[in-house]
């Protein structure tokens, strides 16, 4: 996208994975903490690492890839 394209610089996260990224950051990284010992049920997905992966994926989707076409 060119710099003159009015949509070139702005992306609003709207996809399912993007919204999960935002949920992970807001709900797991923000908010009032009453106790350091968070008791959670077991799940198949480690969301801490998923958060990092989603951050990287979000960045890749928003920016053009570098390198030869």
Residues binding another protein (CB under 8 A): 3, 5-13, 18-20, 22-36, 38-45, 47, 52, 55-56, 58-59, 62-64, 66
Q: Tokens representing 50? A: 């998923």
Min CB(69)–another protein separation in Å: 16
The residues, any chain, with a CB within 8 Å of residue 54's CB and separated by 6 or more, are 17, 18, 20, 21, 24
Min CB(27)–another protein separation in Å: 4
Min CB(2)–another protein separation in Å: 9
Give the Cα-Cα-Cα angle 46, 34, 18 (nearest 5 degrees). Answer: 40
């Amino acid at each position: 996208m060119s710099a003159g394209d009015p949509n070139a610089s702005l992306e609003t996260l709207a996809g399912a994975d993007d919204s999960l990224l935002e949920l992970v950051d807001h709900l797991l990284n923000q908010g009032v903490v009453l106790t350091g010992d968070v008791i959670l049920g077991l799940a198949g997905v480690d969301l801490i690492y998923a958060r990092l992966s989603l951050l990287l994926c979000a960045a890749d989707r928003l920016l053009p890839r570098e390198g030869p076409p």
